[in-house]
Chain A
Amino acid sequence: MKILIAIGSKEFSAPTLRLGMKVAQAFHAKTTIIDVGEKISEFSSHLVELAQDQMESWDFDPPGVDVLEWAFNYLSDNKLIDSKQIKTGFPKNRLIDDGEDRKLVYLSGTVCDDVNLILRNGDIISELRDEVQYGKYDVTILGKSKKRNMSHDLLQYINSSVLIVNNYDNQKFDKILLPLNNADGMMKVAKYAIRVAMALDVGIDIFTVINKKSLKQERSYIIKKVIKLIRRSGVQFTNEEKEGEVVDQIIKKADKNKIIVMKASNMSPIKRYFKGSVPLSVMNESDVPILIVK
């Protein structure tokens, strides 16, 4: 399992890093923390690089290094990396340019496999997409953007499951909400939900929204399988069915205290681009973290 956690600033990325590392811990995943810096106009990019070289000769770090250092300190404070590395501090001198337009430093993890810190510059969607393709990540974790298109692009173009960390607070979340439907791949979603529930030590609310009675029988079969899986895992759960509009019901049920884990839409990319999808609508309209499993 490989997890990519995207952070952007010390001010706003703390919840993302906190939840991200908990999930990484749950999956015992190889984890990479990435900061994508602002895109620089191509006109000035070489000149800015030259200026940054000059800045380094005056002991100034390139932009973004402070964010990685802050992430390193978080890992140190929570003993998520090897104690030897904690003692030596943030290894700025080992932040190497790997020739792929990114700088990176390798660390040894404790609760999860290796933890890498990466610095890239450019358009966030393109850079994350490239990184996910390059590193073959299973889950990408990042904070919710205020830009509506960004959520759409993330879901549409990032080739991994996506966890959007929205208003995350340790104390607040006491349940995982697992909305089910009759699509393929629900067992994978259930497995993810179980892992996250275990990491946060919370229960799972299985939730099915029915708007066509004819599908009830088929749904029941999937729900039975999911219930069996969850019961075996030892995680506490409830099961509820409701009639109504799917997005509204999920958002209402999630309230402000549940982390949603749901499956990505099976629609074709073009159809999804023009029509949208249930996960996208839930992601845009809800106020809680949401993991969309692909």
Chain B
Amino acid sequence: MFWATQKKWFLYALGLGALLLALPTPHDLQIEAKISMTILIVSLILIIKEPIPLPAVAIFILIAQIYGGVDTVDGISKSFMSDAVFFIMGSLMLAVVIIKQGWDSRIALGILKFTGNKTAGIAIGFLSISAVLSSFIGEHTVAAIMLPIGMTLIRFTSANPSGVKNLSAVILFSIAYGCLIGSVGTPSGGGRNVIMLNYLNQAGISISYFEWMIRVYPFIFLQIPIVSWIIMKTFKPEHRILDSSVRKLVIKVARSRAITGRSTLTVLIFVFILSGWVFFSEKFGLGTIALTGVFLYLLGGFVKWSDLNKHTHWGVIILFGATISLGTSISKTGGAMWLADKLIYFLGTFMETIPFFRELVVIVITTSMSNVLSSSATVAVLGPINLNLVPEILNIGLLTAMSSAFSYFTAVAAPACTIVYSSGMIRAKDFIKIGFRVGMISILLLIAYVNIYWPLFN
């Protein structure tokens, strides 16, 4: 009985899957496509509600595709392991290495030099630094590095957290949203970007690291001041100036460990990885370069394998491999095309007559899904469908990747939000309060951005 109540969403999902399979197959849809889409719906419920462990969901996706005859064992195995999976594996391991290097105190000093002691300046400083760093090293890494800096500043301002609730919200949301905003800036900013690159490559479109940055990075600079302003207006901080707490923080970080030759070497290795991503990712893949970095850190003894093993969630890596494999199957069997056709059939008139409606549909669907699912899983699932929606495949691919970062509404969708939420200093309803405002403005900004800036490339 306990098992049944704990696994009720698993039972509902299987029931729904059985029902969908029992329904007659539309004449213009292959049976394999129908099965793969049914697996998708079942998996989405399992991923969102987590009635079974995520690795079990991954295994379910893989075996269901094989038993369902969606593809051969070889076909599924090939689509399971790709550069995107290498990258996710590498970036999760790099996060462990980077966090363990103690760069946080240097970053704290950097922020304070740059922002001064006014709360507004500090908020925009946290947001900007989080955005710029996360565009290269991933949102989860930056959130983990920035959180203690922000929390220390809050603690130095008041020992009583209830007296600085708004200040806490300002600083912590600046970190979380900064990480989200920045994570789309370059392909290495997040697994979702690499997954999209993977799908674009499958569609015969290639975009270099640098080209991605040119097309996407200005959007970050556009968002930073606006989002910072919204955060400050939503949570009016109790203190306008954080003079003494800034001084205390400077003293604390000044006392922390000094930069040694070895820590300089870790930075140099990271610069080497970054250069590899910028100049050689088209040839070798982002994942291969990330794993090269991990190899060098292990070789140099900068991190222990036991630490990497402990903090790398292998289940999530397997799940991403499985969802990418499922996305590829949906595309190969014609399911993605069929879904896109149906969407165009129902919304085509609006898409043609209402300006920007097409972008709005893609952004709203992607944003909605990324707020209940992870952003990478959203791109893995929606990517193949969205790429079939319009002829401008590159634009729609980038748009999907960018809007998948709009996970502003919930504490659970993006790791950066979950990490700051785990501090216990902000509430789940704060995410709704601010997330709605930031989300709406970001959607409007993105529509304007793609229609004003991207046409310059044609």
Q: Is the CB of A269 within 8 A of B1?
A: yes
Q: Is the CB of A50 within 8 A of B148?
A: no
A-B interface, 10 closest residue pairs, ranked by CB to CB distance from nearest: A58-B148, A51-B144, A46-B313, A44-B418, A44-B415, A51-B419, A269-B1, A47-B140, A47-B415, A157-B2
| A126 to B143 Cα, complex, angstroms | 30
With A42-B50, A42-B53, A58-B148 known to touch, is A49 a contact of B311 (CB < 8 Å)?
yes
Please give 8 more A-B residue pairs, beta carbons under 8 A apart, in addition to A47-B92, A58-B148.
A46-B316, A47-B140, A50-B311, A51-B147, A55-B151, A60-B151, A157-B1, A270-B1
B343 at the interface (CB under 8 A from A): no
A171 at the interface (CB under 8 A from B): no
B30 at the interface (CB under 8 A from A): no
| A46 to B89 Cα, complex, angstroms | 13
B152 at the interface (CB under 8 A from A): yes
Closest partner residue, chain B, to A63 (CB atom): B424
| A153 to B152 Cα, complex, angstroms | 40
| A141 to B145 Cα, complex, angstroms | 39
Contacting residue for A45 out of B95, B144, B313, B374, CB 8 A: B313
Q: Is the contact region of chain A dominated by helix, strand, or loop, or is it mixed?
A: helix
B6 at the interface (CB under 8 A from A): yes
A-B contact pairs, 28 of them (CB 8 A): A40-B418, A40-B422, A42-B50, A42-B53, A42-B313, A42-B316, A43-B374, A44-B418, A44-B419, A48-B415, A49-B311, A51-B143, A51-B419, A51-B422, A52-B422, A53-B99, A54-B99, A54-B104, A54-B144, A54-B147, A58-B148, A58-B149, A60-B148, A63-B424, A153-B5, A269-B1, A270-B1, A273-B1
Residues of B within 8 A of A63 (CB): 422-424
Most buried by B among A40, A44, A270: A44
In B49-100, the 8 Å CB interface with A consists of 50, 53-54, 92, 95-96, 99
B312 at the interface (CB under 8 A from A): yes
In B398-440, the 8 Å CB interface with A consists of 412, 415, 418-419, 422-424
| A219 to B59 Cα, complex, angstroms | 57
| Chain B interface residues toward A at CB < 8 A | 1-2, 5-6, 50, 53-54, 92, 95-96, 99, 102, 104, 140, 143-145, 147-149, 151-152, 311-313, 315-316, 374, 412, 415, 418-419, 422-424
A129 at the interface (CB under 8 A from B): yes
| A40 to B148 Cα, complex, angstroms | 19
| A153 to B4 Cα, complex, angstroms | 12
Residues of A within 8 A of B311 (CB): 46, 49-50, 53
Q: Is the CB of A43 within 8 A of B419?
A: no
Q: Is the CB of A46 within 8 A of B312?
A: yes
Residues of B within 8 A of A58 (CB): 104, 148-149, 151-152
Residues of B within 8 A of A269 (CB): 1
A78 at the interface (CB under 8 A from B): no
| A270 to B422 Cα, complex, angstroms | 37
Q: Is the CB of A47 within 8 A of B374?
A: no
A88 at the interface (CB under 8 A from B): no
| Chain A interface residues toward B at CB < 8 A | 40-55, 57-58, 60, 63, 123, 126, 129, 153, 156-157, 269-270, 273
| A214 to B217 Cα, complex, angstroms | 83
Residues of A within 8 A of B423 (CB): 55, 63
Residues of A within 8 A of B415 (CB): 43-44, 47-48
Q: Is the CB of B144 within 8 A of A50?
A: yes
Residues of B within 8 A of A52 (CB): 422
| A57 to B152 Cα, complex, angstroms | 11
Q: Is the CB of A42 within 8 A of B54?
A: yes
| A55 to B5 Cα, complex, angstroms | 36
CB distance from A249 to the nearest CB of B (A): 30
CB distance from A150 to the nearest CB of B (A): 12
| A270 to B50 Cα, complex, angstroms | 24
Residues of A within 8 A of B6 (CB): 123, 126
Q: Is the CB of B312 within 8 A of A156?
A: no
CB distance from A104 to the nearest CB of B (A): 20
Q: Is the CB of A50 within 8 A of B151?
A: no
Closest partner residue, chain B, to A67 (CB atom): B424
Most buried by A among B50, B151, B312, B313: B313
Q: Is the CB of B148 within 8 A of A55?
A: yes
Residues of B within 8 A of A41 (CB): 50, 412, 418
| A45 to B315 Cα, complex, angstroms | 11
CB distance from A123 to the nearest CB of B (A): 8
CB distance from A43 to the nearest CB of B (A): 5
Q: Is the CB of B374 within 8 A of A156?
A: no
CB distance from A66 to the nearest CB of B (A): 8
Q: Is the CB of B95 within 8 A of A47?
A: yes
| A40 to B149 Cα, complex, angstroms | 22
Closest partner residue, chain B, to A157 (CB atom): B2
| A40 to B411 Cα, complex, angstroms | 10
Residues of A within 8 A of B424 (CB): 63
CB distance from B250 to the nearest CB of A (A): 14
Q: Is the CB of A50 within 8 A of B99?
A: yes
Residues of A within 8 A of B145 (CB): 54
| A269 to B99 Cα, complex, angstroms | 49
CB distance from A56 to the nearest CB of B (A): 9
| A50 to B54 Cα, complex, angstroms | 19
Closest partner residue, chain B, to A66 (CB atom): B424
CB distance from B133 to the nearest CB of A (A): 14
Residues of B within 8 A of A55 (CB): 147-148, 151, 423
CB distance from A179 to the nearest CB of B (A): 26
Q: Is the CB of B422 within 8 A of A48?
A: yes
Closest partner residue, chain A, to B375 (CB atom): A43
CB distance from A10 to the nearest CB of B (A): 11
With A42-B54, A63-B424 known to touch, is A47 a contact of B1 (CB < 8 Å)?
no
| A142 to B5 Cα, complex, angstroms | 21
| A42 to B140 Cα, complex, angstroms | 14
| A269 to B2 Cα, complex, angstroms | 9
Q: Is the CB of A50 within 8 A of B95?
A: yes
CB distance from A160 to the nearest CB of B (A): 14
Closest partner residue, chain A, to B47 (CB atom): A43
